[in-house]
Chain A
Amino acid sequence: MTEWIHPSVFYIPGAFLLPFLRGRMQKAGMLLIPLLGTAAMYLMMHLPHGTYWTWNFLGQSMIFGSVDKLSIVFGWVFVIMSFIGMVYALHVDDAGQHVAALLYVGGSLGVTFSGDYLTLFIFWELMAFSSAYLVFARREPEAIRAGFRYILVHAFGGVCLLGGVVLHYLNGGSMLVGPLEQDGSLAFYMMLIGVIINAAVPPLHAWLTDAYPEGTVTGSVFMSAFTTKTAVYVLVRVFPGTELLVYLGTIMALYGVVYAVLENDARRLLAYHIVSQVGYMVTGVGIGTEMSLNGSVSHAFAHILYKGLLFMGAGAVIHMTGRRKLTELGGLYRTMPITLVLYMIGGFAISAFPLFSGFVTKSMVVAAASADHRPLVALLLTMASSGTFLHTGLKLPYYMFFGKDSGLEAKEPPANMIWGMSIAAFLCIAIGCFPKPLYDLLPFPVDFDPYTGDHVTSALGILLFTGLGFFMLLKKLDPEPTISIDTDWFYRKGSRVFMWVASRPVAKTDTYIGDIYKTWFSRFILFFSDILARIMDVRGIDGAVNGIANLFLAASRWMRTTTTGFVRQYAATMLIAGIVILGYYLFSTLMSL
């Protein structure tokens, strides 16, 4: 019988082997590792569900292989995306980035298959630190700063999660990963905060839109796929049916759309649409029915592929032109038509056009909201899909590829980048046209057919008339060279308030205390030491020293007069001294008799 193999065993040790390989060997390794991961996933399909690879550590059992339908579907999309991302990154000659990306994927897979919270937390932190490197690797000052903010936010989230786990355990809870009782306890909310930080739920989302546009071209492709979707996996696993998530998710879906209107940076616009799309998944988790959870999981699957594709498309333009702002781009359709078409496939997929992947997954969440008698949620989510097409399907490609000609001399990106995008584009269309294999992977049996007549015409109506609105209000949408204030303001400007508090009031108090010390304390010490000097030093110690010295001086003066230089006098002195000593001896002996 075949043994169960954790796919991370290829990614994590493989990552450490990669820097020792050079040239073609390194590139072969970059492709081989995800292929071995895919093979491990394939083997897993033929093994029974259950727990594998349990290890006893300090009386706590660590479960590395908890396998069921939910972990398998996420495992599949993670290994597929890691292959696509590696193909896209083949031309990059920076082993550090590849190592970080492989560790990041290994961490995500580790979370997916972990059966207890301790194991989950360890892989959770591996993800945070390895992904931060993908931001630092751009090596620009603003990227370094964004990387530090990113790692601080994730460290905070990790601490919340761990704190929640510890409290949960101390309250008698199980360490096994599973649905938590919604008892409103501190442990429940701390774990929820830890997870929704990674899911980028407002107001805890700003790390995403801050860091993703600052990452390397290839690194951001990985980032767009893994952190938020791993968090969605944990939400589905641990927090299904949490009512709060319905509201947060719906707000999220619209929040990202609003900021995308204002955004000028191409990848930040796409990052705001991650927030928007993850909103659908979070809403699905909150509703908590079988259909909505299926919707969340399948939308996460489709999202990883089309968002990766969109980031690859925008990244290709940034790679070839060196520009990232819509105000500086335009007219690239003539020189980069293939990139444009591949990007548009991602754009159609995210917008849920019929025959593209978003249509068969996003609509499941909206239909689940309708079926669960939540008309407002369904309406607002539909409005957000209009906004999605408006930005990622119309605004971004219009100002990047058409619009005002920027006169940039760009050409198509390297072949491996085109290949990476092509695989993702193929899967976006394949899932859209043949959803059954994906539906079969979902955790619950699927009773949903997206291709009904009214569904297709109403979806097309929403999207195409959004297009009409776009062209009618085109002038209004012209990108502006600005940045938008988001909740990262609180820790970016807040840190300045902290620095001000440190430099002004604290430093002032310090100076004041210093002055008091100098003027009062030092003066008192000087005064006291003066007294000591006068009395003790001059009168006491000096007096004693001088007195002894004077005594010796007088004695030596007297002694000097005895040295006359005459031998007779010396002899007489010795004789007298001998008689005195002898006399004293005789006297004392007689007295003792």
Chain B
Amino acid sequence: MIRKLVLFIGDPANSKKVKKIGIAMLIVTFISDFFVHREHVHYIWDRIPGWGALYGFVSCVIIILASKFYGHQCRIMRDEDYYND
């Protein structure tokens, strides 16, 4: 069963179906955040429905772009034989 599931997800022929399932999950998650009862309200953003989704997406983009900028522009990434090991 597990093997079949993995092979289904991995097969490029199913990529459209997998994409659709993924988008459906995103929508369900986003919408459901509007309907839950808010218990842990410490700060203003805890009141905003869909805050998690927004913050997650923005965080992901910031992390990727900032890290690559740091790696390339600050000369952090070097050739593999940099230390001559």
A contacts, CB < 8 Å to B = 141-142, 145, 257-259, 261-262, 333-334, 337-338, 340-341, 367, 370-371, 373, 375, 378-379, 382-383, 386-387, 390, 401-402, 452-471, 473, 476-477, 480-485, 492-493
Contact = CB atoms under 8 A, between A and B. Distances in A.
Contacts of B82: 483, 485
B3 interface: yes
A333 B10 contact: yes
A466 B60 contact: yes
B61 to A, nearest CB: 5
Interface string B46-69: 100011111111011111111110
Interface of B: 2-3, 6-7, 9-10, 22, 25-26, 29-30, 32-33, 36-40, 42-43, 46, 50-57, 59-68, 70-71, 75-80, 82-83, 85
Given A142-B85, A466-B57, 16 more contacts: A338-B2, A370-B40, A370-B43, A375-B42, A390-B64, A402-B10, A453-B36, A455-B39, A457-B36, A459-B52, A465-B52, A466-B59, A473-B61, A483-B77, A485-B75, A492-B83
A460 B52 contact: yes
Give 3 nearest A-B pairs by CB, closest first: A461-B52, A469-B60, A458-B52
A484 B79 CA distance: 9
13 contacts: A337-B6, A386-B56, A390-B64, A455-B40, A460-B29, A466-B60, A468-B57, A469-B61, A473-B61, A473-B64, A477-B64, A483-B82, A484-B77
Contacts of B56: 386, 461-466, 469
A338 B57 contact: no
Give the most central of B25, B70, B83: most A CB within 10 Å: B83
B77 to A, nearest CB: 4
B34 to A, nearest CB: 9
Give the most central of A261, A461, A462, A481: most B CB within 10 Å: A461
Contacts of A482: 71, 77-80
B4 to A, nearest CB: 9
Given A338-B2, A367-B40, A461 B68 contact: no
Contacts of B37: 452-454
Contacts of B67: 257-259, 261-262
B78 A340 contact: no
Contacts of A373: 42
A124 to B, nearest CB: 28
Contact of B50 (A258, A371, A461, A477): A461
Nearest to B80: A483
A481 B68 CA distance: 14
A383 B60 CA distance: 8
B43 to A, nearest CB: 5
Given A461-B50, A461-B53, A462-B59, A469 B64 contact: yes
B45 to A, nearest CB: 8
A387 B10 contact: no
Nearest to B25: A464
A460 B76 CA distance: 33
B14 to A, nearest CB: 12
Nearest to B44: A375
Contact of B3 (A337, A401, A469): A337
Contacts of A454: 33, 36-40, 46
B25 to A, nearest CB: 6
A472 to B, nearest CB: 8
Contact of B51 (A340, A456, A458): A458
B63 A470 contact: no
Contacts of A402: 10
A462 B53 contact: yes
Nearest to A341: B2
A337 B1 CA distance: 11
Contacts of B10: 333-334, 401-402
A485 B76 contact: yes
A176 B57 CA distance: 48
Contacts of A262: 67-68, 70-71, 76-77
Contacts of A145: 85
B42 A465 contact: no
A340 B68 contact: no
A566 to B, nearest CB: 99
A320 B72 CA distance: 33
B75 to A, nearest CB: 8
A153 to B, nearest CB: 16
B79 A383 contact: no
Given A334-B7, A341-B6, A483-B78, A261 B43 contact: no
Contacts of A338: 2-3
A340 B8 CA distance: 13
A383 B63 contact: yes
Given A340-B6, A461-B52, A465-B26, A485 B78 contact: yes
Given A261-B63, A465-B26, A337 B2 contact: yes
Contact of A457 (B25, B29, B54): B29
Contact of A386 (B36, B50, B60, B77): B60
Contacts of B85: 141-142, 145
A253 to B, nearest CB: 12
Contacts of B40: 367, 370, 452, 454-455
A139 to B, nearest CB: 15
Contacts of B43: 370, 375, 378
B26 to A, nearest CB: 6
Nearest to A344: B6
A456 B33 CA distance: 9
Contacts of A483: 77-80, 82-83
A392 to B, nearest CB: 13
Contacts of A481: 80
Nearest to A457: B33
A262 B68 CA distance: 7
Nearest to B3: A337
B60 A465 contact: yes
B26 A468 contact: yes
A476 B83 CA distance: 26
A382 B55 contact: yes
Nearest to A145: B85
